[in-house]
Amino acid sequence: MGSFTLTHERPDCFYDRFERKSELQHQTHYCPGCGHGIVHKLLAEAIDGLGVQDRTILVSPVGCSVFGYYYFDVGNVQAAHGRAPAVATALKRSLPDKIVVAYQGDGDLGAIGTAEIVHAANRGEAITVIFVNNGIYGMTGGQMAPTTPLGKKTATTPFGRDALNEGYPLHICELLASLEAPVFLERVGLGNNKQIMGAAKVLRKAMENQVKGLGFSLVEVLSPCPTIWKMDPVEAQRFVREEMAAVFGIGNYRDRTATATPRPARPAPPKLEELPGILGLGNGDRDRLPCGETSAVDYRIRVAGFGGQGVLMLGEVLAEAGLDAGYHVSWLPSYGPEMRSGTSNCHVRLSSRPIDSPLVSQPNVLLALNEPSLHKFLPGVEPGGIVLYNGDAIPEGCGRGDVRMVALPFTRIADQIGVSKAANIVILGALLEATDLVENEQATAALHKLVKSPKWFDIDVQAMERGREEMRKTTMPVSDDYLWGV
Amino acid sequence: MTSKPDRGLVEFNSEECKGCGLCVEACPPKVLRLSEQLNHYGYHTAEYLGAGCTGCGICFFACPEPGGIAVLRREVAA
């Protein structure tokens, strides 16, 4: 008989048993004749051949191949639908010595994840992407994919894919080949022996590129899906060979591996203690983090008006001053797309305790810079809260007996100091006079930080003082009864 | 009578085989077939006709299951 030696056997980088469930641990979950099984084997052979099993990280997608991590005995991460290139980017950048492989199907890469793949390729991330294109959604039951050939009937194109209605099949390799950064782009098929052996070679090259540190490599694999195309495996192979390959040309679309040089290592990121300096915050800021020694307060402030009134700015000053005062703070702007006019409001919280949510739906401070804002937000104000309204008097029908309401013509007061745009800071002054929210110095320091121009800073300081004066003149009582605890 | 012994040998793991038939299609000397028998899971698994394997290994790459097929080659006497 003579002796034989094993030349082709189960690749080492598969787990011995697939512990996805308690039974059938010796076989994959793929349908008979599925291209994923073949791509898995070719990839496993490449990993074994290059000897990189111990430093490979596979990013599994959403789709039929979601369980890649049950099969490959490598580092495994499973990404949200379409996001494998983004996850792979993070992995590769933080662990540059690892071989990071994003494995995706055409629904994942070519539909929901189109943006991720285009930008990862455009950045030239030094990852390897394996793009398994079977021309249809498999796992979800045969819906049209962006890669479905024209005329093909699917669950969602019962009359056949029509270019006028569903567009044309998306050619990912050609699309990415229009970008400057990718190093290697090639489309292969699993349509016959020659194609499969070609695919094995190309997959290995795409992996090798990363081992050499060259840059972005993508292999698109035209792959059979017998179950969903309702064909037997051999017929599905013919479909790949004759019909898929007629739409998606097999071949190389980019090969700069001969001239590409290894991507240089990225500079180390700055140290944590360097960040305040880089962000221009000054070194003292770290000492003023909330220390928990302030008395229990929870200011929930809503500032509202029209865009351009300085609504967001007023909120920012309050939050900044609150930070200075040792509170936990949050500032959440809410505005339309308009830069001026339109409505604008923000949620601000100053609290002696950690803030659970930055949303303020029941404010205890409402700063209404125009009438619509008063109408809109007054009903939500907590009993005992304070409302400052920018007007001569509270509009009829707007009164509430259980909150403190102050109407002052803040814009006109600002006009008197020559700058109507400073009305927001006049309101700030009035609010500080009416409450013990923050100290004057803290508000001034916040203005100093946020208002870059010395001219405007002087105007704002003046505006704040006028706000205080006007508030003192109101006949409304200033009483601790209106202060609210937690 | 053949004078030269077969260069290769192919072994199937009938527990892994799902009977897709891609190896039968792929085999260049056409020495594989799907069995009349059903395996434990109800598949007509692939089997070797018993002679004629060249050890080329194409069936191994065409097979979607990780360990469905192993291919051996005869050691050549030095």
B66/A10 CB distance under 8 A: yes
A196/A309 same-domain check: no
A27/B64 CB distance under 8 A: no
Distance from CA of B22 to the nearest CA of A (A): 6
Which two structure tokens, joined as six digits, stand for B48? 């070797």
Judged by average pLDDT, the poorest of A33-47, A111-125, A295-309 is A295-309
Domain that holds residue A190: 35-255
Residues of B whose CB is below 8 A from A14: 66-67
DSSP element (H, E) containing A440: helix A440-450
User: For residue A260, which of A205, A178, A221 has the smallest C-alpha distance?
Assistant: A205
Task: Return the pLDDT at A294.
Answer: 46
A251/A334 same-domain check: no
Which two structure tokens, joined as six digits, stand for A56? 């490979």
Residues of B whose CB is below 8 A from A200: 61
Task: Return the pLDDT at A36.
Answer: 97
Task: Return the pLDDT at A340.
Answer: 60
Task: Return the pLDDT at A284.
Answer: 53
Task: Return the pLDDT at A293.
Answer: 47
Judged by average pLDDT, the poorest of A10-24, A168-182, A210-224, B49-63 is A10-24
Does residue B42 form part of some domain?
Answer: yes
A157/A110 same-domain check: yes
A37/B69 CB distance under 8 A: no
Task: Return the pLDDT at A277.
Answer: 85
- Contact partners, residue A59, CB within 8 Å, separation at least 6: A77, A78, A79, A84, A87, A88, A91, A100, A101, A102, A103
Considering only CB atoms, A41 lies closest to which of B18, B61, B73, namely B61
B66/A41 CB distance under 8 A: yes
Mean per-residue pLDDT for A314-330? Answer: 94
ipTM over 0.90: yes
Does residue B36 form part of some domain?
Answer: yes
Task: Return the pLDDT at B54.
Answer: 96
Residue A290 reports pLDDT greater than 70: no
Q: What is the pLDDT of residues B5-57, one digit of tens each?
A: 899 999 999 889 999 999 999 999 999 999 998 887 889 999 999 999 999 99
A223/A320 same-domain check: no
Mean per-residue pLDDT for A158-182? Answer: 97
Rounded Cα distance between A305 and A311, Å, is 6
A179/A324 same-domain check: no
Mean per-residue pLDDT for A265-288? Answer: 75
Distance from CA of A30 to the nearest CA of B (A): 8
Q: What is the pLDDT of residues A3-14, one digit of tens each?
A: 899 999 999 999
Q: What is the pLDDT of residues A151-161, one digit of tens each?
A: 999 999 999 99
Q: What is the pLDDT of residues A72-99, one digit of tens each?
A: 999 999 999 999 999 999 999 999 999 9
Residue A338 reports pLDDT greater than 90: no
Domain that holds residue B35: 8-73
Q: What is the pLDDT of residues A373-413, one digit of tens each?
A: 999 999 999 999 999 999 999 998 888 889 999 999 999 99
Residue A197 reports pLDDT greater than 50: yes
More confident residue, A373 or A47: A47
Residue A484 confidence class, pLDDT cut points 50, 70, 90: very low
Q: What DSSP state is assigned to residue A420?
A: G
Percent of chain A with pLDDT over 90: 78
A246/A316 same-domain check: no
Does residue A174 form part of some domain?
Answer: yes
Which two structure tokens, joined as six digits, stand for A84? 């494998």
CA-nearest residue of chain B to A18?
B66
Residue A285 reports pLDDT greater than 60: no
Residues of A whose CB is below 8 A from B69: 8
Residues of B with CB under 8 A from a CB of A: 5, 8-9, 13, 15-16, 18-22, 25-26, 28, 41, 43, 55, 57-58, 60-67, 69-75
Task: Return the pLDDT at A292.
Answer: 44
pLDDT, averaged across chain A: 91
| A146: region left, alpha or beta (phi > 0 left; psi from -120 to 50 alpha) | alpha
Task: Return the pLDDT at A286.
Answer: 46
Does residue A309 form part of some domain?
Answer: yes
B25/A234 CB distance under 8 A: yes
Does residue B1 form part of some domain?
Answer: no
A49/A175 same-domain check: yes
Task: Return the pLDDT at A475.
Answer: 60
Does residue A422 form part of some domain?
Answer: yes
Residues of B whose CB is below 8 A from A234: 21-22, 25
What CATH code is carried by the domain that includes residue A220? 3.40.50.970
Into how many domains does chain A fold?
A: 2
- Name the amino acid, one letter, at A3: S
Distance from CA of B67 to the nearest CA of A (A): 5
A135 interfaces chain B, CB cutoff of 8 Å: no
Residues of A whose CB is below 8 A from B16: 26-27
pLDDT, averaged across chain B: 91
Mean per-residue pLDDT for A242-259? Answer: 97
Residues of A whose CB is below 8 A from B28: 193
Distance from CA of A12 to the nearest CA of B (A): 10
Does residue A12 form part of some domain?
Answer: no
Surface of A (274-313) touching B: CB under 8 A: none
B22/A33 CB distance under 8 A: yes
A329/A446 same-domain check: yes
Does residue A418 form part of some domain?
Answer: yes
For chain A, the first-to-last Cα distance in angstroms comes to: 89
A204/A322 same-domain check: no
Edge to edge, the sheet with strand A99-105 lists A75-78, A56-60, A99-105, A128-133, A217-222, A184-189, A251-255
Mean per-residue pLDDT for A218-228? Answer: 97
Considering only CB atoms, B74 lies closest to which of A2, A40, A226, namely A2
Residue B3 reports pLDDT greater than 90: no
Residues of A whose CB is below 8 A from B60: 8-9, 41
A64 interfaces chain B, CB cutoff of 8 Å: no
Residues of A whose CB is below 8 A from B20: 32-33, 226, 233
B73/A4 CB distance under 8 A: yes
- Contact partners, residue A431, CB within 8 Å, separation at least 6: A365, A367, A386, A388, A437, A467
Does residue A281 form part of some domain?
Answer: no
Task: Return the pLDDT at B38.
Answer: 86
More confident residue, A422 or B2: A422
Partners of A390 in the β-ladder? A408
Task: Return the pLDDT at A463.
Answer: 95
Considering only CB atoms, B20 lies closest to which of A5, A71, A233, namely A233
Are A248 and A186 a contacting pair, CB within 8 Å? no
Task: Return the pLDDT at A476.
Answer: 55
More confident residue, A472 or A22: A472
Residue B2 reports pLDDT greater than 80: no
Residue A464 reports pLDDT greater than 80: yes
Does residue A266 form part of some domain?
Answer: no
Residue A341 confidence class, pLDDT cut points 50, 70, 90: low
Considering only CB atoms, A26 lies closest to which of B15, B19, B71, namely B15
Does residue A484 form part of some domain?
Answer: no
Residue A339 confidence class, pLDDT cut points 50, 70, 90: low
User: For residue A245, which of A182, A177, A194 has the smallest C-alpha distance?
Assistant: A194
Residue A289 confidence class, pLDDT cut points 50, 70, 90: very low
Which two structure tokens, joined as six digits, stand for A4? 């034989």
A237/A90 same-domain check: yes
A197/B61 CB distance under 8 A: yes
Into how many domains does chain B fold?
A: 1
What CATH code is carried by the domain that includes residue B39? 3.30.70.20
More confident residue, A337 or A189: A189
Does residue B3 form part of some domain?
Answer: no
Distance from CA of A7 to the nearest CA of B (A): 5
Surface of A (170-209) touching B: CB under 8 A: 192-193, 196-197, 200
